Chains A and B, each alone.
Chain A
């Protein structure tokens, strides 16, 4: 890792003092249980179709996954039940607005990075991600951000593509240089 560029900054991601909660743990937990129940039903159906019986020589392909789906659905329903019978549980904030904003500050760039990787290749995408994140989220000087991300992407490129022949997704820009 290019730890040679040591940069000291004020932490720009300091949390606001009293940020209103976006949602409570309770709501998220209930939502997760519902999603899990739906997933379990879907998988149970698929495994029922595959064959979930116990043949003469042991279980069929769908046997274990089917009963696992049933167990998953059961445990999730139990979870829903506990939520229902304990209205006081999980009232605390799942995430405050301020926290959510900061989580999104990493999540959105990461998502865009994945998208860019598909189109532009991994190295260009990583250059854009690192430079953009350092500059916009970290408020680090633009030249430092660009330099760090360029050095990092180049080190990765040389290590993987040239030294170790590990093939990463590449896009039009690498193609220009014949890779």
Chain B
């Protein structure tokens, strides 16, 4: 079976210039550890990376996606923590590396792992159902404030990024929301379409298809500036047409990292291999296409830049968690 795959990718391999010989290379299949369930944003990204590496033959060993979404992703963190000095596991991390240790008292600290690179920043968008009469943030917030029953806000997980955003929306607007924690962003999207919730704060990738189908409305994006992609996604709108929440009078901003980590105690040569690997991945058409389709912010940080970024991001997330009252005593 393996020879079959190799034969299939050989053509693709020849079109790419061969990489210069590196000091270290994996000798076993590399596990890409996903801290979320199947079909979620992390899983999709892992599969994109897997496909890009295979198509362009960037690595001799195969890459296997290993889903460890148990305990809201804590399973993946503990798994990485217990894999010290094993260079055949890469974690595809997001903000849970800061938040989960705070909210659930999980004995984990991202500084125990080896940072490889930050590969993207993910956006958050406020969505509502198109059958609701609220066309913009102001109408939506006013209706939420006036409603006797709190509006239902869907999201992924409890005391995590979606929940934090909901709390900050409450603080800024004075409206009350009943936050419904679902198991995945996909579930939150479907529940919004089915009108079981009034709104959600999904990542663009999670609501993309229902948006294109005209079932949900993008109210605003939680960033300082609009998303840069100007190609039409729906019949009438591109990502760039979605206003920022600040423009709409809701001053809340949040971006989430998507970064790769190796377990602790790996050698610098091993880290260098992966830095180079993900650098190459970020130059493939698959990656670029994926970034645009899912409205991710391209970014590539590694080494000292990355650590500096992580430290600042950690501080920011901790203070948000503190303010939202989600830090477990």
Question: Which residues of chain A have a CB within 8 Å of any CB of chain B?
Answer: 57, 162-163, 165, 167, 178-179
A-contact bits for B12-37, CB 8 A (1 contact / 0 none): 00000000000000011101000000
Please provide the chain B residues from 162 to 201 with a CB less than 8 Å away from any CB of chain A in the complex. Answer: 178
> Is the CB of B10 closer than 8 A to any CB of chain A?
no
Chain A contact residues: helix, strand, loop or mixed: loop
Can you list 12 A-B pairs, Cβ within 8 angstroms, ordered by A? Answer: A57-B178, A162-B2, A163-B1, A163-B2, A165-B29, A165-B62, A165-B64, A167-B28, A167-B29, A167-B31, A178-B27, A179-B28
The residues in B between 127 and 160 inclusive whose CB is less than 8 angstroms from any CB of A are none
Q: How far is the CA of A70 from the CA of B27 in the complex (A)?
A: 53
Question: How distant is A49 from chain B, measured CB to nearest CB, in Å?
Answer: 13
Closest 6 CB pairs of A and B: A165-B29, A165-B64, A163-B1, A165-B62, A57-B178, A178-B27
Report the bound CA distance from A178 to B28 in whole Å.
9
> Told that A163-B2, A167-B28 touch, could you supply 10 new A-B pairs with CB distance under 8 A?
A57-B178, A162-B2, A163-B1, A165-B29, A165-B62, A165-B64, A167-B29, A167-B31, A178-B27, A179-B28
User: Chain B: which residue is nearest A57 at the CB level?
Assistant: B178
Number of A-B contacts (CB under 8 A): 12
For residues 40 through 72 of chain B, which have their beta carbon under 8 Å from a beta carbon of chain A?
62, 64
Bound-state CA distance A167–B29 (Å) is: 9
Nearest A-chain residue to B1, judged by Cβ: A163
Q: How far is the CA of A175 from the CA of B2 in the complex (A)?
A: 22
Residue of A nearest to B158 (CB): A61
Return chain B residues, CB-CB under 8 Å to A179: 28
Q: How far is the CB of A64 from chain B (nearest CB, A)?
A: 16
Closest residue of A by beta carbon distance from B64: A165
Q: Which residues of A contact B29 (CB under 8 A)?
A: 165, 167
Give A83 to B297 CA distance when docked, in angstroms: 68
Q: Which residues of chain A are near B1, meaning CB under 8 Å?
A: 163
Q: Which residues of A contact B64 (CB under 8 A)?
A: 165
**Distance between B16 CB and nearest chain A CB, rounded to angstroms:** 23
- When chains A and B are docked, how far (Å) is the Cα of A167 from the Cα of B2? 16
Q: In the complex, A76→B64 CA distance in Å?
A: 46
Beta-carbon nearest neighbor of A163 in chain B: B1
B171 to nearest A CB, angstroms?
Answer: 19
Residue of A nearest to B150 (CB): A57
Complex contacts, B31 vs chain A, CB 8 Å: 167
Q: How far is it, in angstroms, between the C-alpha of A157 and the C-alpha of B79 when the chains are bound? A: 24
A165 contacts which chain B residues (CB < 8 A)?
A: 29, 62, 64
Nearest B residue to A164 by beta-carbon distance? B1
What is the CB-to-nearest-CB distance from A159 to chain B, in angstroms, rounded to a whole number?
Answer: 11
Q: B183 CB to closest chain A CB, in angstroms?
A: 16
Closest to B30 in A: A165
Measured between C-beta atoms, what is the minimum distance from B74 to chain A in Å?
A: 15
